[in-house]
A and B are shown apart, each in its own frame.
Chain A
Amino acid sequence: MKVGFIGLGAMGRPMALHLQRAGYELFVWARRPASADGLPATLCATPAELGRQCDVVFTIITSSADVEAVALGSNGLIEGMAPDSVLIDCSTIAPDAARRIAARLAEKGIHMLDAPVSGGTQGAIDATLAIMAGGDAAVLERVRPLLDCLGQRIVHIGPSGAGQVAKACNQMIMVAAIEAAAEAMRLASASGVDCAKVKQALAGGSAASRVLDVMGERMVKRDFAAGIEARLHHKDFGLVLEAARKSGVPVPLTASVAQQLNALMAQGWGKDDTASLLRVLERA
C-alpha cells in the first residue's frame, strides 16, 4: 500500500519512519524539501501529486489554516486524492475546522479521519501514541493496521471532529496539570524545601501523575529545552477556549492557565518546554 505523509517535524518524522519500516511505500511532501532529507521516501512536488499516488495520506502540521491549505488549497490533496482514499489528519486543530475540511473532501468521495495524538515526541519515537479518532468507524477499521504502527491506544471517539474534541480535553487536563506541578514546585522552593524530595514523595501518592513524573523532573532539573514546544500548547489553548465559548461552557481554570501561557509567550519562551510555566511563576 502507498502511504503519503505530510508534516515531517519532531512528531511526523518518526511516525513516517514507523510506517515505512512496517512495509508501506512512503511518499512525502514538505514545504521545505530539506526536511525530507534522509527519509526512505519519494518526494512529491505538491500535496496534489502526493494525493494522486497514495491510498492513505497522513498529515501532522500546526494550524487549522495549514491543514486547510494542504487539504483544500490550490495543488492541495483534494485535487489529487482518489474517491474512497483516506486522509488521516493527526494535527491538533479546531473541531469545527476538522468538520469543515471533512465535508469538503466528502464531496469528492474522499474520507477523512481527525486523529490527533497524545504522547509527545517520545511517544512518536516509541510508537506508543494515544490516537483519538473522529469520523466513520468503518473507515477507521480499514486504516487501523496503519495506526497500529504508530500507537497503542487507538479509540474511535465519534463522528467527524470528535477526535479533536477529545484532544482539546486532553490538552486542558495535561497543561493544567503542568501548571499545578509548577505551582507546587514553586511553593516548595519558596518555602525553603527541596523540590526534588517533594516530587519524590508525591510520586508515591494520590498526586502521582505522568505529568508530575516527566514535567516535574524537568522543573527539578531546570531543564527547559523542549520536548513539546510551549507555543504549541499556547496555540491549543486558543482552540480550547474558542470551543468552550462556542458551547457556552465555563472553563475558569483553563482560562487562567491560558493567561500563564500568554505570559510565557511574552517572556520569549515559546520554543522552550512548557515546564517553563515554573519560570513564569518565578517572575511574579
Chain B
Amino acid sequence: MKIAFLGLGIMGRPMALNLIRGGHDVTVWARRVESMQPLIEAGAKSAASPAEAALGQDLVVSMVADAPDVAEVMRGVAQGAAPGLVAVDMSTIAPAAARQIGLDLAAAGVDFMDAPVSGGEVGAIAGTLSIMAGGSDAAFAKAKPALECMGKNIVHVGASGAGQVAKAANQIVTGMGVLAVAEAFAFAAKNGVDRNRVREALLGGFAYSKILESHGQRMLDRNFKPGFKSWMHEKDLNIVMQTAHELGLCLPGSAATAQMFNAMVGSGMGEEDSIAVLKLLERLSGQE
C-alpha cells in the first residue's frame, strides 16, 4: 500500500519504520528535515509538505503533538488528496477536535479516522501498540493492514471521535493507576515497610496490574527516565477534564490526579516519566 507518514517524533519514527518493514511504500514528512533522514535511509521517500506527501497515496497516517498540529497537517493533506483518500490520525487529541477535523476533511472528500495508541515508545518500536479507532467501517478496513504493522490490539471502537474517547478513558485509568501505585508505595514507606515486598505481595492479588508490575518496578528502581513524559500525561488529562467540563460529568478522581500532574509540570518534572509523581508525593509528606 502507498502510505504517507506525517510526524516523526519518539512515537512516529518507529511506527513509520514498522510500516516500511511491513512492505509498504512509505513517504515521510516531518517539520524538522533531519528527522526524516533515518527513514530515508531505511527506504522511505520524503516530501516537502503534507500536501505533497498526500499526493497519490492510498493512506495518510499522522502522529503529531496536539490538536492544532493535527488540524494544520490535515489541511495540507486535504489539498494534496485524491477523492477517497483515508487519513488516520494517531495523535492523542480531544474527541471534539477529532470530530471537527473529520467533518472538515469529509468536505474535501477525505475519509478521516482517529486512531490514538497506547503502549508508549516500547510498544511503538516492538509494533505492539494498542490502537483505538474511531471512524467509518470502510476507513477502518482500508487502514487495517497498515495498523497491523504498528500494533497488536486493534479495536474499531465506534464512529468518528470514539477512538479519542477510548484513549481519554485509557489515560484516566493509567493516570490514576500510576498515582495509586505511587501512593501505595509512599504509604508503605511511611509505615516503615519494604515497598519491594509490598509490590511482590500485591502482584498475586486483586491489585495486580501491568502498572503495578512495570511502572511499580521502575518506581522502586527510581528510574524516572521517560517512557511517557509527565507533561504529556498532564496534557491528556486536561483533555479528559475539559471534556468532562463541557459534558457536565463529575470525575473527582481524575480531577485530583490531573492536579498532581499539573504540579509536576509546574515544578520542573515535566520531562520525567509520569511515575515521578512518587517524588512529588514524597516531597509533600516529607519523605525525601
Contact = CB atoms under 8 A, between A and B. Distances in A.
Interface of A: 234, 237-238, 241, 244-245, 247-252, 255-256, 258-260, 262-266, 270
A140 B234 CA distance: 39
B42 interface: no
A250 B255 contact: no
Contact of A255 (B234, B249, B256, B267): B256
Interface residues of B, number: 22
A259 B251 contact: yes
A262 B245 contact: yes
13 contacts: A241-B245, A248-B265, A248-B266, A249-B266, A250-B262, A250-B266, A255-B255, A259-B244, A262-B248, A262-B249, A262-B250, A263-B248, A265-B248
B250 A259 contact: yes
B241 interface: yes
A-B residue pairs, 3 tightest by C-beta: A248-B266, A265-B248, A250-B263
Interface in B210-242: 234, 238, 241-242
Contacts of A251: 259, 262
Contact of A248 (B244, B248, B258, B262): B262
Contacts of B258: 255
Instruction: Identify the interface centre among A237, A258, A264: most chain B CB within 10 Å of its CB.
Output: A258
B252 interface: yes
Interface in B242-287: 242, 244-245, 247-252, 255-256, 258-260, 262-263, 265-267
Contacts of A245: 234, 238, 262
Contact of A259 (B234, B238, B252): B252
A259 B255 contact: yes
Given A252-B256, A262-B245, A247 B250 contact: no
Contacts of B256: 252, 255-256
Contacts of A244: 262
Majority-rule SS of B interface residues: helix
Contacts of A256: 252, 255-256
Contacts of A241: 241, 245
Contact of B250 (A237, A238, A252, A266): A266
Contacts of A247: 266
Contacts of B262: 244-245, 248-251
Contacts of A252: 256, 259
B150 to A, nearest CB: 31
A248 B259 CA distance: 9
A266 B266 contact: no
A219 to B, nearest CB: 20
A262 B251 contact: yes
Contacts of B265: 248
B270 to A, nearest CB: 8
B264 to A, nearest CB: 9
Nearest to B249: A262
Given A245-B238, A262-B244, A250 B252 contact: no
A19 B250 CA distance: 42
Contact of B245 (A238, A250, A260, A270): A238
B151 to A, nearest CB: 30
A266 B248 contact: yes
A250 B260 contact: yes
A260 B250 contact: yes
Nearest to A267: B248
A142 to B, nearest CB: 38
Contacts of B251: 259, 262
Instruction: Identify the interface centre among B238, B241, B244, B262: most chain A CB within 10 Å of its CB.
Output: B262
Nearest to A252: B259
Given A245-B238, A250-B260, A258 B255 contact: yes
Contact of B249 (A237, A238, A248, A266): A266
A247 B252 CA distance: 21
A175 B267 CA distance: 27
Contacts of A265: 248
Contacts of A260: 250
A248 B260 CA distance: 10
Given A259-B251, A266-B249, 13 more contacts: A237-B245, A241-B241, A248-B262, A248-B266, A249-B266, A250-B266, A252-B259, A255-B241, A255-B259, A256-B252, A259-B244, A262-B249, A263-B248
B250 A248 contact: no
Instruction: Identify the interface centre among B244, B249, B259: most chain A CB within 10 Å of its CB.
Output: B259
A37 to B, nearest CB: 33
Interface string B114-152: 000000000000000000000000000000000000000
Nearest to A257: B255
Nearest to A250: B263
A85 B251 CA distance: 46
B241 to A, nearest CB: 7
Nearest to A263: B250
Nearest to B241: A241
Contacts of B263: 248-250
A245 B256 CA distance: 13
Contacts of B260: 250
Nearest to A254: B259
A244 B238 CA distance: 11
